[in-house]
Amino acid sequence: SFHSTISYRPIRPSDLEILEKIHGDIFPIRYESEFFLNVVNGYDIVSWGAVDLSRPDDQRDELIGFVTARIILARDSEIADFIRPDSSESDQTLVYILTLGVIETYRNLGIASSLIREVIKYARSISSCRAVYLHVISYNNAAICLYEKMSFKCIRKLHDFYYINGQHYDSFLFVYFINGG
């Protein structure tokens, strides 16, 4: 089937240009070039890319989707209050999803779901990690449905969290608890 030709791999330096282009195309927020450099070089950021192996040779390694994330200390995070304290683990961590996207022609095929499953699997493999969390702008119904379907819990609504083109927007904070978090 079509699905079986989608493959997931780490993002690498040769993905820089396409990664930056897709972000520009699908997000209302601009990211600094430094962000993209950090992603492709894996500086403090973990990421997964999706490619379609059934495309012609010159495109079969081109990103069609991605997820980027960062590990942060639970106690420094805005969801510290939601994490059960653990006397044996003073340095509890969280995985914070920075960006998630799939190019338009590849949507509704389960690619974003697979990318999130990769993040959750990775987070579970870190013994200190208690949750995966993220912010989503309040009007993004597709993403909100996706996170709800993946069993993330909406724990907060942040008033005027985003400021885009002179307008304020609320955000929702979604969390997926793991490892007894």
Q: Which one, 94 or 97, has the nearer CB to ligand ACO?
A: 97
Q: How far is the CB of 17 from ligand ACO (least distance, A)?
A: 18
- CB neighbours (10 Å) of residue 1? 5
**79 binds ligand ACO per the rule CB under 6 A:** no
Q: How far is the CB of 116 from ligand ACO (least distance, A)?
A: 8
Amino acid of residue 82: F
Q: Which one, 149 or 157, has the nearer CB to ligand ACO?
A: 149
Burial bucket for residue 10 (CB in 10 Å: 0-12, 13-18, 19+):
exposed
**143 binds ligand ACO per the rule CB under 6 A:** yes
Q: Which one, 85 or 110, has the nearer CB to ligand ACO?
A: 110
| 3-state SS, residue 22 | helix
**140 binds ligand ACO per the rule CB under 6 A:** yes
Ramachandran area for residue 82 (φ above 0: left; ψ -120 to 50: alpha; else beta) = alpha
**69 binds ligand ACO per the rule CB under 6 A:** no
CA atoms within 13 A on the CB side of 27: 20
In whole angstroms, what separates CA 146 from the centre of its chain? 12
Q: What is the DSSP letter of 106?
A: G
φ, ψ of residue 98 in degrees (nearest 5): -85, -55
Q: Which one, 103 or 129, has the nearer CB to ligand ACO?
A: 103
Strand pairing category for 167-177 and 65-73: unpaired
Q: Which one, 24 or 85, has the nearer CB to ligand ACO?
A: 24
**Among 4, 127, 141, 167, contact with ligand ACO (rule: CB under 6 A):** 141
- In the region spanning residues 80 to 139, those forming contacts with ligand ACO, defined by CB under 6 A, are 97, 99-102, 107-113, 134, 136
- Binding residues for ligand ACO (CB under 6 A): 26, 97, 99-102, 107-113, 134, 136, 140-143, 145-146, 149
